[in-house]
A and B are shown apart, each in its own frame.
Chain A
Amino acid sequence: MRYRSQSVAYWYFAVAMCLFGLQLVFGLLSASKYLGPDPLLDFLPFDKTKAIHTNLLIVWVLTGFMGATYYVVPEESRGEIYSIKLAYAQLVAWTLMGVTAIVGYMFGWTAGNKMLEQPFPLKIVIVVVMLMFLFNILMTIKRAGRWTVTEGVLVAGLVLAAVLYLPALIEYDNYTVSIFYRWWTIHLWVEGVWEMIQGGLLAYLLIRLSGADREVMEKWLYVIVGLVFLAGILGTAHHYYWVGVPYYWLPIGGLFSALEPLALLGMAMYAYFAMRRSGLSHPNSLAVHWTIGSAVFTVFGAGLLGFAHTWPSVNKWTHGTLVTAMHGHGAFYGAYAMIVMAIISYTLPSLTENRKVEGNNIGYWAFWMQVMGMFGMTLSFGTAGIGQVYLERILGLGYLDTQLKLQVHFLMLIATASVFAIGAAFFIWDFFRNAPKSISDSRISEFGPVIDSNNGGLLYQKR
């Protein structure tokens, strides 16, 4: 940590970790309802637990992105954050919004649109908070008068993420039109601008962890983001196949979304080649694990498992089954949960007291149990989904009777999810084990980023 104001990132990460833990509680609750009967049926039925599960996911990942940005931008632009007060005010408003949303869902206050369940007033709060955030970041860059491609991609991703939330504010009488624009937010987020954010963070981490040459890394960052958009924008059509749009979206969606894994593969190769140049010599090898892990798991969860059902003639049978849940978990985890945990692992030694840069055993257990657990969960959802497609969609067995046949997969899901949850609990515990460095503490970390990077000039800058 070279700039004092970077320490606000700690509090964003802390909120993110709390919400992450809570997300898993609601995930486990939802999964246990598959086994049924449900003792909470009249009080907290599946629809509420699922909405809370997915909303907490989106909120904590975004909180992690914001924290990461508050950490990265001062370092890249070489200047303190424009207003620390604003950064804290923003975090408080954001957290209050999140908590209100969750309590609201429990009592049936919902807009009832998948993943955009936030009631209208809360959507407005989200927009306002995003504006506070972007203002603060852009002013930081402006005041410093300097920006790098890495942070440019990161910040552009965040600006576009805010812009793409706007269609969600509008209601349509025609359900098909409403679905059409829901994907402008959801798909263009996860397969477009959020991948920009992931790419920016990946470049930041790789440059520091491997010492790879910035010019080369940033050149390829452009190419990767170019590929993301080349495939991702028209790839939106893979959600349009069966919702009441003209026929031509089918071949377009099939073709372009099938190209999407290319960009993800590019990202993994990017990480691989960067690390190969320098070897795994960086002391924070836990952060290296999470960084490479994110790039690799994205190829698996998003690239491979997304590709598996993206062609129209396959999607026709798998659409809206547990196969989608398989992919949703693998993709979200690899691309977004893991990149946030990578940046947390990387920054934690400089944000907290008395932490060894090398990490500790708990940290590695957290990594491996999560990765194994999530792999098992995608297998469980995947086998359940294939069973569902075969029995219900192809043979025509009733939905309810099919679900009864899938009980063993649901047991497997809960078992592997428990391994995952223990890994996550280790991570969260490890996070909170050491106290944060206070903001008035002007000591500059002896470990952390300062010794981490070796890319000319930037490193040894004096404050």
Chain B
Amino acid sequence: MTKRQGRLFFIICTFLTAAAFIGMTIHSHSRFAELTNEDKLTPAVISGKDIWHKNNCINCHTLLGEGGYYAPDLTKITQQRGTPYLTAFLKDPSQFYSEEKHRRLMPNPNLGDTEISDVIAFLDWVSHIDNQGWPPRPIIVSGTTIPGTDVGQPATQASVSSDPVAQGEALFRSSPPACNACHSVVPGTNLAGPTLAGLVTRATAIIASPEYKGEAKTPAEYIRESITHPSAYLVPGAMYSANNQSFMPDNFITDLEPGQIDSLVAYLETLK
């Protein structure tokens, strides 16, 4: 090979691949609107994006898997946590997590109310981007799904917000033992216990069915009963119960205040 041929190789490689790359880029632009739901790109979402950048969230968190590795990925966070919870969290993260326990904590971003709702709108828009189904399995902020181990010990007692739904969601992660150690709120993801997504719909059907022998008349009562008397009705599944005894702990009736159970029920009722 001569130097001239070497140069020719370089020129051909570069131009061919660059042309293909630009061609696909142009084609991708014709698809972005649909893949990213550009019609839902409201002013609130755009302002939320600016807040996301201005506060440098990207250098702790990953979003769509890109950013810092110091804090959890937030791609699907709004599908795991409701707006009331996220609002209360962003007002003061230290009320929800303890630096002593997890050795790291999100500093208070000091955002105003509209800023908070905008950044949540932005994260919600991101969570609906059609990104080939990534992550392949939900990435959870805290909690264990490995029963029988000491990981994911109860966090500190949470609660600042007066909103029962936010309180309930915080309790869901922290009540001893943490509910999310066994339950996900993602449709189809069953851990040690069944997913609690769509609970209200399911509860209505269960109450109406002849198998049901409990005392609940409404979905809310059913949820309360599931927490206070787990064995009153057993969700079918060999890994959920044995000898008519649920594997879900029955200490909640004594270890939780009645008000806390109220907030848990309020929160679980919101899971669609």
Interface residues of A (CB under 8 A from B): 30, 33-38, 41-42, 45-48, 50-51, 108, 110-114, 117, 149, 173-177, 179-180, 215, 218-223, 225-227, 229-230, 233-234, 236, 239, 241-250, 252, 256, 316-317, 319-322, 324-325, 392-401, 403-405, 407
Contacts and interface: CB of A to CB of B under 8 A. Distances in A.
B256 interface: no
Contacts of A394: 137
Given A222-B10, A233-B18, A320 B59 contact: no
16 contacts: A41-B107, A42-B107, A112-B54, A113-B58, A173-B46, A175-B64, A176-B36, A176-B64, A177-B32, A230-B13, A236-B21, A242-B132, A244-B129, A245-B31, A321-B69, A393-B137
A217 to B, nearest CB: 10
B24 A110 contact: no
B132 to A, nearest CB: 6
Interface in B132-168: 132, 134-146, 151-152
Contacts of A45: 60, 107
Given A37-B103, A174-B41, A220-B6, A250 B132 contact: yes
B107 to A, nearest CB: 5
Contacts of A108: 55-56
Contacts of B3: 149, 215, 218-219, 222
B20 interface: yes
Contact of A316 (B2, B11, B14, B134): B134
A113 B64 CA distance: 13
Given A113-B53, A225-B10, A38 B58 contact: no
A47 B68 CA distance: 8
Interface residues of B, number: 80
A34 B70 contact: yes
B126 interface: yes
A223 B63 CA distance: 38
Contact of A47 (B25, B57, B146): B57
A245 B28 contact: yes
B99 A320 contact: no
Contacts of B35: 176, 244-246
A176 B122 CA distance: 12
Contacts of A226: 6, 9-14
Nearest to B30: A246
A392 B139 contact: yes
A256 B24 CA distance: 14
A396 B103 contact: no
B118 to A, nearest CB: 13
Given A47-B57, A112-B52, A112-B55, A233 B14 contact: yes
B62 interface: yes
B272 interface: no
B102 A41 contact: no
A227 B10 CA distance: 7
B69 A114 contact: no
Interface string B169-213: 000000000000000000000010000000000000000000000
Contacts of A234: 17, 20-21
A282 B212 CA distance: 88
A188 to B, nearest CB: 9
A398 B143 contact: yes
- The 8 A-B pairs at the shortest CB distance, nearest first, are namely A36-B103, A320-B65, A112-B53, A222-B6, A226-B10, A242-B134, A47-B59, A398-B142
A34 B68 CA distance: 12
A119 to B, nearest CB: 10
B130 interface: yes
A174 B36 CA distance: 8
B19 to A, nearest CB: 10
Contacts of B68: 46-47, 50, 114
Given A38-B99, A246-B27, A398 B152 contact: yes
B100 interface: yes
Given A37-B100, A246-B27, A174 B32 contact: yes
B233 interface: no
B132 A241 contact: yes
B64 A179 contact: yes
B49 interface: yes
A269 B102 CA distance: 47
Contacts of A398: 140-144, 152
B200 to A, nearest CB: 25
A222 B105 contact: no
A246 B31 contact: yes
B84 interface: no
B130 A244 contact: yes
A38 B138 CA distance: 28
B144 A37 contact: no
A325 B49 contact: no
Tell me which of B57, B68, B132 has the highest count of chain A C-beta atoms within 10 A of its own C-beta.
Answer: B132
Given A37-B99, A50-B59, A112-B53, A401 B17 contact: no
Chain B CB count within 10 A is highest, among A50, A226, A243, A250, for A243
Given A233-B17, A399-B140, A401-B151, A114 B59 contact: yes
A401 B130 contact: no
